[in-house]
């Protein structure tokens, strides 16, 4: 089942913060976050594994709540370069590397 | 430089034609994947391969075929049986097969348009 991302779209001014959520109806083993610019390939941001681990990358961080089957991506003091569509990909505990991707959240950062 | 290449970048197909999209990686990754992306949509899995000479159907395999004769290559054929093939096609690879804890790295994509 496809994970659900919220919000679907968000518009920010430079320097503002945003949170993107990814929720699944199935038990999760891992959550992968990607950012995609229009017409380009998705670029990997970070992986989170079950256990509530929080990771950070510059001013972008994420958390993973295994019990709630949910992950959140936090963008702090957003920059123009943060604009794009953010996808979460969820992995189960099966012995494949398959991911199921959410429908995406479009983020637009304005000057 | 290591990476994933896809060709062509743009492809136009007439109805009734089969076309093949190329995907090559020099990362020495075991697993490879093909996704389809429609405008405003997420990525849907077409086929994946965890080892040479073996591959499995994804969620939307109908009208597509693949082969994995070499570790570095995973071509996708869009057949005439695929009724609505216009989309952006992405190939990805992953270092190890058999687990969802490794990053999937994506190629630049092929945009297929049916005329």
Buried-state track A68-96, b at ≥16 Cβ within 10 A, e below 16: ebbbbbebeebeeebbbbbbbbbbbeeeb
Q: Where residue B16 falls among pLDDT bands split at 50, 70, 90?
A: confident
Confidence label for B91 from pLDDT (cuts 50, 70 and 90): very high
For B38-72, the pLDDT digits (tens) are: 988 889 999 999 999 999 999 999 999 999 999 99
The per-residue pLDDT for range A60-84, each reduced to its tens digit, is: 999 888 888 899 999 999 999 999 9
Taking 70 as the threshold, does the pLDDT of residue A52 lie above it? no
Mutation choice for A interface testing from B100, B104, B107 by most A CBs within 10 A: B100
The pLDDT score that the predictor gives to residue A58 is: 73
- Report DSSP state, residue B115: -
Contacts of B50 in chain A (CB under 8 A): 96-97
Instruction: Report CB contact under 8 Å: A42, B101.
Output: no
Q: Smallest Cβ distance to A47: which of B41, B50, B101?
A: B101
Closest CA to A44 of B48, B94, B50: B94
In terms of Cβ atoms closer than 10 Å to its own Cβ (0-12, 13-18, 19+), residue B98 is middle
Contacts of A43 in chain B (CB under 8 A): 106
Order across the sheet with B4-7: list the strands.
B4-7, B19-25, B76-78, B64-66
Nearest CA in chain B to A99: B100
């Amino acid at each position: 089942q496809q994970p659900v991302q919220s919000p679907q779209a968000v518009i920010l001014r430079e320097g503002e913060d945003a949170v993107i959520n990814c929720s699944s109806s199935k038990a999760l083993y891992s959550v992968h976050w990607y950012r995609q610019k229009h017409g380009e390939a998705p670029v990997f941001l970070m992986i989170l594994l079950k256990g509530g681990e929080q990771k950070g990358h510059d001013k972008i961080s994420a958390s993973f709540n295994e019990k709630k089957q949910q992950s959140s991506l936090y963008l702090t003091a957003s920059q123009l370069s943060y604009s794009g569509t953010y996808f979460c990909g969820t992995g189960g505990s099966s012995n494949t590397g398959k991911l199921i991707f959410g429908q995406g959240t479009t983020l637009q950062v304005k000057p | 430089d290591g990476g994933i290449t896809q060709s062509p970048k743009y492809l136009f197909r007439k109805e009734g034609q089969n076309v093949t999209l190329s995907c090559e990686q020099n990362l020495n990754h075991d697993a490879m994947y093909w996704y389809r992306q429609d405008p405003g949509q997420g990525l849907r899995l077409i086929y994946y391969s965890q080892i040479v000479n073996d591959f499995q159907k994804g969620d939307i395999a109908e009208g597509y075929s693949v082969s994995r004769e070499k570790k570095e290559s995973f071509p996708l054929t869009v057949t005439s049986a695929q009724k609505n093939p216009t989309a952006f096609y992405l190939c990805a690879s992953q270092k190890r097969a058999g687990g969802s804890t490794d990053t999937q790295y994506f190629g630049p994509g092929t945009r297929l348009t049916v005329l």
